[in-house]
Structure 1
Amino acid sequence: MRPFVGLIFLWLFSAPLQAQTDTIAFADTVMPATSLYRLNKTYLLSYFTDLPKVAVSPVHFTAKNWRNTALVAAGAGALLLADKKVFELMNANRSKISNDVAGVVEPFGNKYPPLIIGSMYLAGVLTKNRKMEHASLMTAKSLVFSTIFYTATKQVVRRRRPRFTEDPFDANSPFEGGREYTSFPSGHSNTVFTVATALALEFRDTKWVPPLVYTIATLTAVSRLYENKHWSSDVYVGAAIGHFVTKALYKVEEKKARPKLYKLD
């Protein structure tokens, strides 16, 4: 099944890339081929230089950015209050079909992303398609960065998973407790939304790509609720971290491409 998934995604994203292999677009910025990443020293060093920039990106937030941040925080707060109701709703509406769907999409949150990224990179190298090669490396870097942020959050917010308690406010002290106290935020949701956001940005000119990847990401996130692995607010915040960390990284790359015209919006 895993090789099949990799081939499907490789086929889906290869067609849009064939048309333009020498440039990549960031909003109103077109980067030349020399700006596209390859697996070399420059790319590896960019992990160390870009991570701090992503971490401090809120310093450059505009009023619109802060408004969006407030809306995300409000949504997380609302779900926190509704966590138990959502938990009960999920457990009261189980069926064979929903079981099957959850089983199909769940691996997109942990097993499939490395396969998808690796397949894209290998195809880019073998076909000399620089844009596909760059897309795979950017997705990989986005995933590493978002994983750092969500795992650090898990260590501080030691929330108990719903399969061990019916109290959504059951938590331990920071850095204390075992794996059952790693509910917040959802790692699967973070991972799948990181990859979905990166692919949506890389292939924004192909209209069907963003709806496809975000649909898969949403179903994967919901599957974590269905399987009692996370509370709804865990899933929401995990998805938000993956999405916004990835967008922040792409803004960093855009700034490097056109520093004088760069504007964070």
Structure 2
Amino acid sequence: MHLPDFFALGSFGFGKQMLLVLLSVAVVAGFFMWAGRRRAMVPGKGQFVAEMGYGFVRNSLGKQLIGAHHFKPFVPLLFASFFFILVNNLYGSIPVLQLPTMSHAGSAYVLAAIAWLTWVGVGIKRKGLGGFFKDLTMPSGVPPLLYIILVPIEFLSNLLIRPVTHALRLFATMFGGHMAMMVAASLTSFLILEVGGVGAAASLASGALGIFLYFLELMIQCIQAYIFALLLAVYIQGSVSEGH
């Protein structure tokens, strides 16, 4: 999972994980540019898949969550976030590549930081600095005396803990799932090559477990891309709404 760098410039090392991140940008951009090159009224297969993916993000994540009046400016960010994370997660299930780049914490934290800056910036721009923090830390309908306790809790929860958990949720599932697959594969290889005999027979169980984990991880890779974009849409909705 943490392979040697291809090359290093001082303290900066460029390795497989960074290469795959750059490749994902080319894959996502290349596919949608290719699919939309003709813009036919009767779409072909590629255009149909691209339009279906765009429509899913636009309607399910943007329009339904952020609201029909506010969602349009944020569709590009939601669209890019979902498909960028999806491709980087799916690397873990592709033979030879076999590395979900979001299993490296730095990548997940950068995406969470972009999401955090977006919804905080939108909230301050729309409501003003005071109005944004008031809406974020002072829920309506609460006795004023309780604000002494609620304000610091809400501040920590929304502005500090929220971006951390946003990143950790993605990183931990990708890291843990890929680690489980590696353990199952290593155990199967060990039982066949090193133990033999009864061990080779027992490897059928570990091999079956590995196959099960592979398809489970494939499902989780898709779900985590959706959850990250979903939470981003929910946070933005809180920034553009009038109150909570």
**What TM-score does the superposition give when structure 2 sets the normalisation length?**
0.34
**Structure (1 or 2) with the larger CA radius of gyration:** 2
State TM-score, norm by structure 1: 0.32
Q: Of Structure 1 and Structure 2, which has the larger fraction of its residues in helix?
A: 2
